[in-house]
Structure 1
Amino acid sequence: MTTDATPRLRAVLANREFRALWFAETQSLVGDQLTVVALSILVFDRTGSALWTAAVYGLTFLPALAGGLGLSQLADIYPRRTVLVATSLLQAVTIGLMALPGMPLAVLCVLIVLAKLAAAPGISAQNSLGREIFTDDQRYLQSQDLRGISSNTAILLGLAGGGLLVTALGTTWALAIDAATYLIGAFVVWAGVRGRPAAGERGAGWFGAIRYVFGQPRLRVLIWLSWLVGFAVIPEGVAVPLVQELGASNQAVGWLLAADPLGFVVGTFLLSRYVSAEGRRRALGLLAIVPLLLLTTFVFRPNLILSMLILGLSGVAGAYFITVGATFITWVPNEIRGAAGGLYRTGLRVVQGIGVAIGGGVAQLLGSAGTAIAVAGAVGVVMAVPIAISWARVRTTGSPGIVTS
Structure 2
Amino acid sequence: MSGDRPPGDRPATYGQVFAVREFRPLFGSYLLSTIGDELARVALTVLVYQRTDSALLAALTFAISYLPWLLGGPVLSALADRLPRHRVLIGSDVARAVLVAAMAVPGTPLPALLALLLVVSLFAPPFEAARSALMADVLEGDRYAVATSLTGITGQAAQLIGFGLGGALLAQFSASAALLMNAATFAVSAGWLALVLQRRPAPVQDAAGPPRSLLQDTAVGLRLVAGAPRLRAIVGVLWVAALFVNAPEGIAAPWTLQLQDAVGATGLLLAANPAGTAVGGVIVGRFCPPALRDRLLTPLVALSLGGVLLAGLVPLVLDRGTTSFVVVLVLLFVAGLGGACSIPLNVAFVQAVPSAYRGRAFGVAVAGLYGVQGLGAVLAGAGADVLRPSTVVALSGAIGLVAVVVPLLALRRSSPVVGDAAHVASGPAAGGPSQA
TM above 0.5, yes or no, is: yes
C-alpha distance in structure 2 between counterparts of 1:95 and 1:396, whole Å: 42
C-alpha distance in structure 1 between counterparts of 2:415 and 2:58, whole Å: 44
How far off is 1:2 after superposition? 5.6
- In structure 2, the residue matched to 1:128 is 133
Question: Letter of the aligned partner of 1:223 in structure 2?
Answer: V
C-alpha change, 1:67 and 1:4, in structure 2 (3 Å) is farther
Question: Letter of the aligned partner of 1:224 in structure 2?
Answer: G
Question: Letter of the aligned partner of 2:161 in structure 1?
Answer: L
Question: Letter of the aligned partner of 1:142 in structure 2?
Answer: V
C-alpha distance in structure 2 between counterparts of 1:236 and 1:395, whole Å: 35
The alignment status of 1:321 with 2:342, answered yes or no, reads yes
C-alpha distance in structure 2 between counterparts of 1:118 and 1:72, whole Å: 9
Sequence identity percentage: 33
Is the contact between residue 10 and residue 288 of structure 2 (CA under 8 Å) also seen in structure 1?
Answer: no
- In structure 2, the residue matched to 1:306 is 327
The alignment status of 1:190 with 2:194, answered yes or no, reads yes
Question: Letter of the aligned partner of 1:365 in structure 2?
Answer: V
Q: Please, what TM-score do these two structures have when normalized by structure 1?
A: 0.94
C-alpha distance in structure 2 between counterparts of 1:322 and 1:166, whole Å: 36
Count the aligned residue pairs.
403
The alignment status of 1:377 with 2:397, answered yes or no, reads yes
The alignment status of 1:273 with 2:283, answered yes or no, reads no
C-alpha distance in structure 2 between counterparts of 1:200 and 1:148, whole Å: 28
Is the contact between residue 145 and residue 272 of structure 1 (CA under 8 Å) also seen in structure 2?
Answer: yes
How far off is 1:9 after superposition? 2.3
C-alpha distance in structure 2 between counterparts of 1:158 and 1:311, whole Å: 24
How far off is 1:160 after superposition? 5.6
Pick the aligned partner of 2:385 from 364, 374, 386.
364
The alignment status of 1:78 with 2:83, answered yes or no, reads yes
Is the contact between residue 332 and residue 340 of structure 1 (CA under 8 Å) also seen in structure 2?
Answer: yes
C-alpha distance in structure 1 between counterparts of 2:165 and 2:391, whole Å: 31
The answer to which of 9-18 and 152-161 deviates more is: 152-161
SS of alignment partner, residue 77 of structure 2: coil
The alignment status of 1:166 with 2:170, answered yes or no, reads yes
Within 5 Å, which residues of 2 pair with 1:73-112? 73-112=78-117
Is the contact between residue 314 and residue 328 of structure 2 (CA under 8 Å) also seen in structure 1?
Answer: no
RMSD over aligned CA atoms reads 1.9
Is the contact between residue 166 and residue 178 of structure 2 (CA under 8 Å) also seen in structure 1?
Answer: no
Q: Please, what TM-score do these two structures have when normalized by structure 2?
A: 0.88
C-alpha distance in structure 1 between counterparts of 2:263 and 2:342, whole Å: 30
How far off is 1:220 after superposition? 0.6
> Unaligned stretches of 5+ in structure 2?
1-5, 206-210, 319-323, 431-436
SS of alignment partner, residue 128 of structure 2: helix
Question: Letter of the aligned partner of 1:290 in structure 2?
Answer: L
SS of alignment partner, residue 6 of structure 1: coil
C-alpha distance in structure 2 between counterparts of 1:323 and 1:170, whole Å: 43
- In structure 2, the residue matched to 1:391 is 411
- In structure 1, the residue matched to 2:255 is 242
C-alpha distance in structure 1 between counterparts of 2:169 and 2:347, whole Å: 34
- In structure 1, the residue matched to 2:233 is 221
Within 5 Å, which residues of 2 pair with 1:329-348? 329-348=350-369
Is the contact between residue 205 and residue 336 of structure 1 (CA under 8 Å) also seen in structure 2?
Answer: no
How far off is 1:162 after superposition? 4.3
Question: Letter of the aligned partner of 1:335 in structure 2?
Answer: A
C-alpha distance in structure 2 between counterparts of 1:400 and 1:141, whole Å: 22
How far off is 1:163 after superposition? 2.9
C-alpha distance in structure 2 between counterparts of 1:282 and 1:394, whole Å: 15
Question: Letter of the aligned partner of 1:38 in structure 2?
Answer: A
C-alpha change, 1:126 and 1:231, in structure 2 (3 Å) is same
Question: Letter of the aligned partner of 1:393 in structure 2?
Answer: R
C-alpha change, 1:166 and 1:253, in structure 2 (3 Å) is farther
- In structure 1, the residue matched to 2:434 is none
C-alpha change, 1:189 and 1:400, in structure 2 (3 Å) is farther
C-alpha distance in structure 1 between counterparts of 2:26 and 2:196, whole Å: 8
SS of alignment partner, residue 22 of structure 2: helix
- In structure 1, the residue matched to 2:208 is none
Question: Letter of the aligned partner of 1:213 in structure 2?
Answer: V
Higher Rg: 2
